[in-house]
A and B are shown apart, each in its own frame.
Chain A
Amino acid sequence: MNVLRVVIMLAWRNLWRNHRRTLIMIGAVTVGVWAMVFMTALMRGMVSDMMQDGVRNLPGHVQVHHPQFRDDPSVVNLIGIPDSDIAQRFDSAGIERWSSRVNVPAVISSERESRGVTLVGIDPGRDDALTGLSSTITSGRYLEGPDDTGLVVGARLLDRLDTGLGKRVVLMSQDPDNEIADRGFRIVGVYEAKLEAQEEGAVYAGKATVTAMLGIPDRVTEIAVVGDDYRNVESIFEQVAATVNDDLEVLRWTEIATYLGSMLNVMDGFVLVWFVVIFLALSFGLVNTLVMAVFERVREIGLMLALGMRPLVIVLQVIVESLLLLVIGLALGSLVGWLTVLPFEDGMDLSVVAEGMEMYGMSSVLYPELTLDDVLLANVVVLTLGFLASLSPAWRASRYEPMEALRKV
């Protein structure tokens, strides 16, 4: 124990014998660690924004369909359980945030234009807990109940259809016998979405109104369920699978939106690679510093060895010196990283490249996300690799022949 105290003290004093070199190296480590922390916070912010939007648009962490629905999205492939029955089962299973919906491709026509859209029949109250649609209404009103006969459309679609709030449009789809099912709707609300494709592609109406139009009373095409955390859906997945034990397909969101799902993993991999790359760029300087520090002290090391200090203590001294340097750099870098993320807590405006971000499925305001996990990971990576990088110079230092070392100029 006493040895360790001496070693630490020696290492600390040695560090400041050549303060310029140490300060430059600490500067390099600080910049490197700052880059790790800051860049990761930006990337995490981007990805989690994408995930949250993506999961909200799906919607749900877990979805239930007829097994054929994803391959053949038609009203023929309905969930075989009456909707009222579903409600009962979910409520008794204690699953709170769920919504059953009718989701069918349709053609919407105004007096002048026609477009292809997805017609979504919802129970407005239930669904809002999943999608937050009501808070995105910019004019008119949100749907009032499953029997509402009004239609809520996106602002861009309204524009493209050359129509307006309060006007009538016709929706066409097919019923289970492939007869055209159509119905006139009055546009009662207009919403805005972060992503254009969403705003142009989805129109919402009362679930009962839509099932009546399609001739599928009391049936739905999908059930969406939201758990506590989109990163961990296993428990809610199992709960749902147990509740709808019939012949239905239960999927996690990562299986529905494979792009988003793989994004999450790629991101974790990228963070690690980024840390290691930065560390490697740093390591050359670190090893260099240690080699020089040892070189300057060859005589001193020779003397210590001649006086009977064990070689292991020399190894320890160099390693502790390296780790002390890294710890100071890490502390400073993490602190500066945190300080530079702070001003962007309310979002970083990226509207110059808004349409490009849209292509990636991101919105144009970025909220950096600094997580303790990432900061810890950066520290662990730097310390572990730093330890490994110092082994060779430390080992060399301890291998000097005392007499030869003492004679060195």
Chain B
Amino acid sequence: MSITLRLAWRNLWRHPRRTWLTLGAMVFSNVLLVFMISLQVGMYGLMIENTLQVFTGSLQVQAPGYKDDGKMRQVVDNVVPLASDLRKELGIDAVSPRALAFALASSDNRSFGMQLVGVDADREPLVSSVPGLITDGRYLAAGDTEAIVIGRVMARNLKVSVGDELTLIGSGLDGSFAAAVVRIEGIFDSGVADFDRGIAYLPLPFFQDMFYMEGAGHQIVVSTGTLSAVDDVASEARTFLADEPSLVVHDWDALQPGLKQAIQADISSAFFMYAILVILVAFSVLNTQLMSVLERTREFGVVMALGVSPGNMGKLVLVETGIMGLLGLAAGALAGAAFTYWFTVYGFTYPGMEEMAAEFNLPARVFPEVTPLSLLVGPLAVFVFTLVAAAYPALRLHWLQPVQAMRAA
């Protein structure tokens, strides 16, 4: 083996320029792959977190059908006691009951429709980032009654500020007329215009009185902290609620089906680009190795006449390629890590990204995330295809006739 290794190493440097150029192709592709995959990992993480932490949470308990229809009467009965039972059962603090209804809100000179959300003032900050995004006044507190927290855009459209009153008109659970006058306690700014225009928060008990909910709500939101914990917590919750046919547990994937699919669509188009890069490197290697084998036809003829089997010569070619591939892998992963690391510190952005990113709840600067996976997946794929590309030159040796080969020019 050691003689094969030594021979392979020397053969590799017979044409240093050729080897460097082939290595260059590998390193170039590897750096790009590491960078792009790390960027994707960083971006998807942010996309999911930012979308979920604003409102959706990791999973929700709802009435069957509420997810798709969102009808007022698809309720979760006794939502507050149920939420506290669930909290004990799951051992998670971040479990918060909510109720939702639509209403027309009028200030002194403007009226707009908005989605009202009745929340548990103490629990909501555990499942949503909105309570932390108050720019004026304060978030709801336990014991508040006729209080409301609205978004920045809505406040501007209604021409109101903290301390002003709003008249709310909607219809209750039983279809009757529901109305109330509330005081604006706080204004939040989530950065997502649609959200800041459309959503307002009321204390849950007050909400239940106003809309004749009789203790019912629409969602129990659970936040598991990490995405990986969602499946376990969801199945725990499902077992706990097994004898409640009027309730279902949806994880974030079911609540935001677009999110995962958007990521999948993005992955598949990215995969196409990666595949092309890898294939182009494979062509480069095929060319180099085929040339190097053809140049050595006479040499191979001689060693073959001396009794070396074609299999052994093929092994030599593969070892040469393997060494080159490993060099490319190591150099590519290192250079890729260094290149990407710079962006993990300073962030990555391009002209026009700000407008595009806002559409997906992303900041204008994305920080790639270097993980072992993002670091190795691309270079490993390049390595594997490098070896595959060398198979043809290696196999060709089986057709070699020693006498003819020795006579070759």
Q: Which of B82-90, B98-106, B135-143, B182-190 has 4 or more CB atoms under 8 Å from chain A?
A: B98-106
Chain B residue contacts of A105, Cβ below 8 A: 112-113
Q: How large is the interface on B (under 10, 10 to 19, 20 to 34, 35 or more residues)?
A: 35 or more
6 A-B residue pairs with Cβ-Cβ distance under 8 Å, sorted by A, are A73-B157, A113-B72, A259-B355, A262-B352, A263-B352, A288-B287
Task: Report whether A285 and B283 are in contact in the complex, using a CB–CB cutoff of 8 Å.
Answer: yes
- Known: A159-B69, A284-B24, A355-B261. Is A174-B106 also a contact (CB below 8 A)? yes
* B280: Cβ under 8 A from any A Cβ: yes
Interface string of A280-317 (1 = CB under 8 A from B): 11101101110110010000000000000000000000
Task: Report whether A178 and B264 are in contact in the complex, using a CB–CB cutoff of 8 Å.
Answer: no
Tell me the residues in window 96-127 of chain B with beta carbons closer than 8 Å to chain A beta carbons. Answer: 101-104, 106-115
Task: Report whether A356 and B198 are in contact in the complex, using a CB–CB cutoff of 8 Å.
Answer: no
Task: Decide if the interface of chain A is mainly helix, strand, loop or mixed.
Answer: helix
* B340: Cβ under 8 A from any A Cβ: no
CA distance in complex: A247, B142 (Å): 49
Chain B residue contacts of A112, Cβ below 8 A: 71-73, 175
* A218: Cβ under 8 A from any B Cβ: no
Chain A residue contacts of B17, Cβ below 8 A: 291
Q: Top 5 A-B pairs ranked by shortest CB distance?
A: A356-B261, A116-B113, A284-B25, A28-B283, A262-B352
Tell me the residues in window 186-210 of chain A with beta carbons closer than 8 Å to chain B beta carbons. Answer: none
Q: Which of B225-233, B270-278, B312-320 has 4 or more CB atoms under 8 Å from chain A?
A: B270-278
- Known: A266-B353, A284-B25, A356-B263. Is A114-B170 also a contact (CB below 8 A)? yes
Task: Report whether A278 and B276 are in contact in the complex, using a CB–CB cutoff of 8 Å.
Answer: yes
- Known: A31-B279, A116-B115, A173-B111. Is A359-B25 also a contact (CB below 8 A)? no
Task: Report whether A114 and B25 are in contact in the complex, using a CB–CB cutoff of 8 Å.
Answer: no
Task: Report whether B356 and A107 are in contact in the complex, using a CB–CB cutoff of 8 Å.
Answer: no
Question: How many residue pairs bridge A and B at CB < 8 Å?
Answer: 197
Pick the contact of B261: A20, A32, A172, A353 (CB < 8 A). A353
CA distance in complex: A263, B115 (Å): 30
Task: Report whether B106 and A353 are in contact in the complex, using a CB–CB cutoff of 8 Å.
Answer: no
* B291: Cβ under 8 A from any A Cβ: yes
Chain B residue contacts of A288, Cβ below 8 A: 18, 21-22, 284, 287-288
* A215: Cβ under 8 A from any B Cβ: no
From A73, A113, A288, A291, residue with most partner B Cβ within 10 Å: A288
CA distance in complex: A261, B355 (Å): 9
CA distance in complex: A173, B15 (Å): 79
Add 12 more A-B contacts to A25-B283, A39-B269, A288-B21 (CB < 8 A). A43-B269, A72-B159, A74-B110, A106-B113, A107-B170, A111-B175, A261-B355, A277-B32, A278-B277, A285-B21, A353-B262, A356-B261
CA distance in complex: A116, B171 (Å): 13
- Known: A20-B294, A71-B156, A356-B261. Is A269-B350 also a contact (CB below 8 A)? yes
CA distance in complex: A259, B287 (Å): 44
Tell me the residues in window 321-369 of chain A with beta carbons closer than 8 Å to chain B beta carbons. Answer: 350, 352-361
Chain B residue contacts of A24, Cβ below 8 A: 283, 286-287, 290
Residue of B nearest to A117 (CB): B113
Pick the contact of B281: A74, A263, A281, A359 (CB < 8 A). A281
* B70: Cβ under 8 A from any A Cβ: yes
Residue of A nearest to B259 (CB): A359
Task: Report whether A360 and B101 are in contact in the complex, using a CB–CB cutoff of 8 Å.
Answer: no
Chain B residue contacts of A354, Cβ below 8 A: 261
- B166 CB, nearest partner CB in chain A, Å: 12
CA distance in complex: A265, B353 (Å): 10
* B372: Cβ under 8 A from any A Cβ: no
Chain A residue contacts of B276, Cβ below 8 A: 31-32, 35, 39, 278, 281
Task: Report whether B114 and A357 are in contact in the complex, using a CB–CB cutoff of 8 Å.
Answer: no
* A238: Cβ under 8 A from any B Cβ: no
* A258: Cβ under 8 A from any B Cβ: yes
Chain B residue contacts of A356, Cβ below 8 A: 258-265
Task: Report whether A289 and B287 are in contact in the complex, using a CB–CB cutoff of 8 Å.
Answer: yes
Residue of B nearest to A176 (CB): B109
* B195: Cβ under 8 A from any A Cβ: no
Chain A residue contacts of B157, Cβ below 8 A: 72-74
CA distance in complex: A172, B106 (Å): 11
Interface string of B281-319 (1 = CB under 8 A from A): 101101110110010000000000000000000000000
